[in-house]
A and B are shown apart, each in its own frame.
Chain A
Amino acid sequence: MKTSFEEKDGKYIMHFEGRLDTASSVQTEQEMKVLHDCEGHDIILDCEKLDYISSSGLRLFLTLLKVAKSKGSKVCVASMNDNLRQVFAMTGFTHLFEFV
């Protein structure tokens, strides 16, 4: 599992690649901490190369959502494949995020 971070047009963007499962979630959690300091910046989670997300991954996204909301920032999930969308849909979390 790889992540990379960039700031573009005032937005914080994190790119995910691989499988976000229990094993990789501890390291990913650390890498996502940079997004928690998001006051004044909307966040894009680029999931184009994300192949799998487990409950641990969902928890990371939900934690980020909570932090971002409290700071007035939006979290947008981009380019998620249909299998991952199914995970969000069946757990009932789709309406919490903005998908593009």
Chain B
Amino acid sequence: MTALGPHTEELLDAYRNELPQLEQLAEQASDLLQAALREQNIQLNTFERRIKTEESLAGKLEKKGYKYKTLNDVTDVVGIRVVTYYTDDVDKVAVIAKNIFDIDWKNSVDKRKHQLNSFGYLSLHYICYLKKGPLRNIPFEIQMRTALQHVWSAIEHDIGYKGAVKLPPEFVRQFSRLAGMLEMADDEFSRLRTTMTEYRRQVQSLVKSGHFNEVSLSTESFRQYLELKPFERLNQRIAAVNQAEIFPAPMMQFLPILEEFRFTNLGDVQQFLEEDSDDAYQLALSQLAITDLDILSESVGLQNLCLVHVLKQGGGLYGIKAVYDVINGEQDSNAALAENILRQAQQLPFMHKL
């Protein structure tokens, strides 16, 4: 290593002396920002903080030491990086940072906007200060970027194009195309999130208002429908047979079965519930009444509804086994379960009306 200039040595001495305060600053600033982000429920890909190493600081000072009179003029000795999933969230993080810290606007850059004519896909950097306390005069930097911007930055660093004096135009073009593609992808992900949120709101409102026929059957709509506990009445009726307790259980795995029944909207599911509940109860009763089983899964009503529907559609043994194959996963023992159900069902009135 070559000898460092006296000014660099002086700033490095200051760095060594101030290291405990710098660490304290990094911790305090991170805690404040993380708490505020949590409060706003912003999902992050990464949150990290770092203190510039002495080696890295020395390198920077050797290159541009003339720019810095004091250590506080080096504004990125303490750094925080916030990586979001969505580009909208970068703006939200920025607003939050503005609220909780003082920003040095002269030295803060929105590189997203300042690099319009060159390639690259850059992030938003704020130089900040704590609003109060003994550390309020030491600057720190917050970098805010999306996960894709982060990936760009990592690859860019790996390729090392920044060091090149002049790149051939075809490489510049390749970089620009990739940067454009990532920017478009970021925008599209944000747009998709907005659209999905809007869709969820619509589904929620239609489901709550009982307009089931207007809601297509999907993972989202079925989840919303289950929140209304549509099978609770049937479950309670079945549970009454042995005064059983009902144990909570997931029911989303029944969705593929309902789709297999060619139900296209929640109205179809509601109709199936209304039309087949009595027979589903009879089928459950035929199995449970001869036992003293007093604990049942929350899915027991829906399971019996599906079995009844298959039987009414003439699905027979094969159809019942197919239902069990979806619920339990394909296994040989499902055939025995299906045979048992068919035997029980044959004693029930609905089988004789077919």
Contacts and interface: CB of A to CB of B under 8 A. Distances in A.
A54 interface: yes
Interface in B237-288: 244, 247, 249-250, 253, 284, 287-288
Given A89-B337, A99-B331, A55 B249 contact: no
A85 B337 contact: yes
A94 B296 CA distance: 11
A80 B331 CA distance: 12
A93 B297 contact: yes
A69 to B, nearest CB: 11
Interface in A35-88: 54-55, 58-59, 62, 80, 82, 85-87
B300 to A, nearest CB: 4
Nearest to B339: A82
A82 B336 contact: yes
A62 B295 contact: yes
A86 B295 CA distance: 14
B214 interface: no
Nearest to A94: B328
A95 B196 CA distance: 30
Contacts, number: 65
Given A58-B293, A90-B288, A92-B249, A99 B328 contact: yes
B56 interface: no
Nearest to B283: A90
B117 interface: no
Nearest to B288: A90
A34 interface: no
A51 to B, nearest CB: 15
Given A58-B293, A58-B295, A59-B295, A86 B340 contact: yes
A96 B337 contact: no
A91 to B, nearest CB: 5
Nearest to A89: B337
B293 A94 contact: no
Interface of B: 244, 247, 249-250, 253, 284, 287-288, 291-300, 303, 324, 327-329, 331, 333, 336-337, 340
Interface of A: 54-55, 58-59, 62, 80, 82, 85-87, 89-96, 98-99
